[in-house]
């Protein structure tokens, strides 16, 4: 089963993303900030990471950079879930190794449709 790590400091967004993914048959794990996400990533394997950008402790950009350093996450798709749609943000994400971005407001159908671009 496809395993997705959902990283967001907002409980409700995290719950919603998880719920959406689960209802589409994905398996999910959740982390409440970048640091937590990195710890969870180190202790397991995932087929996809969906991460917020603005978070305490470690932001999504830094998480992405750290994940890319791990051999198990070198090719793993990492999607940034963000309200910031500016080109600058996308550039930073890309430079950090992000696969793509999902722009909030979060829309479940769109999420499911777009993540098909990176996972089976």
Partner 1 sequence: MSVDLSQFIPSFLEESFEGLELMESSLLNLEQGDDETINSIFRAAHSIKGGAGTFGFNAVTEFTHLVETLLDEMRDGRRSIEQNDVEILLESVDCMRLLIEAIRDETVCDTNKITETSILLEHTLAIDDSASSSDNLDGHSASDSENGLSNWKILFIPEHHLVQTGNDPLFLFNALADLGELTLAANCKELPALNDIDAEELYLSWQLTLSSKASEAEIKEVFEWVEDECQLTITKDETSDKVATEEVKTTRGSANESTITEQVESKAEQKISSTISADKNTSSPAPEKTGNKAKNDLGSIRVGVDKVDSLINLVGELVITQSMLSELGNDFDLSKVEKLNSGLEELLQNTKELQESVMRIRMLPISFAFNRFPRLVHDLSKKTGKDIELILKGEQTELDKTVMEQIGDPLVHLVRNAVDHGIEPAEARIAAGKSPKGTITLNAYHQGGSIVIEINDDGGGINRQAVFEKALEKGIVDENTTLTDPQVFDLLFEPGFSTAKELSDISGRGVGMDVVKKNIQSLGGRIQVESEPGKGSTFRVNLPLTLAILDGQLVRVGSEIYIIPLITIVESLQPQKDLINRVSGDMVLYRLREDNVPVIPIYSLFNISSEFKDIESSLLVVVEADGQKIGLMVDDLLAQQQVVIKSLNDNYQQVEGISGATILGDGSVAMILDVSGIISMAHKKSEIDQQHKKNMQLKARQQISEGANC
How far apart, in Å, are the Cα atoms of 113 and each of 42, 107, 117? 28, 10, 8
Contact 3, 27 (CB under 8 A): yes
Q: Name the residue nearer to partner 1 (CB basis): 19 or 42.
A: 19
Q: How far is the CB of 43 from partner 1 (least distance, A)?
A: 18
Judged by CB under 8 A, the residue of 39, 78, 88, 89 near partner 1 is: 78
55 binds partner 1 (CB under 8 A): yes
Report the candidate in 93, 30, 85 with the shortest Cα–Cα distance to residue 60: 93
Q: At what angle do helices 34-42 and 60-69 cross, to 10 degrees?
A: 20
Q: Name the residue nearer to partner 1 (CB basis): 1 or 71.
A: 71
> Which residues would be at the binding site for partner 1 (CB under 8 A)?
9-13, 15-16, 19-20, 23-24, 54-56, 74-78, 83, 85, 94, 97-101, 103-109, 112-113, 116-120
């Amino acid at each position: 089963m496809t395993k997705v790590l959902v990283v967001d400091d907002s409980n409700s967004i995290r719950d919603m993303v998880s719920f959406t993914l689960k209802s589409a048959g994905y398996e999910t794990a959740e982390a409440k900030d970048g640091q937590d996400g990195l710890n969870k990533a180190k202790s397991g394997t995932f087929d996809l990471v969906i991460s917020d950008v603005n978070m305490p402790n470690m932001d999504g950009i830094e998480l992405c950079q750290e994940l890319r350093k791990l051999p198990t996450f070198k090719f793993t798709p990492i999607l940034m879930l963000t309200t910031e749609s500016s080109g600058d943000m996308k550039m930073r994400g890309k430079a950090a190794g992000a696969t793509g971005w999902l722009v909030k407001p979060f829309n479940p159908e769109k999420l499911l449709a777009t993540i098909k671009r990176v996972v089976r």
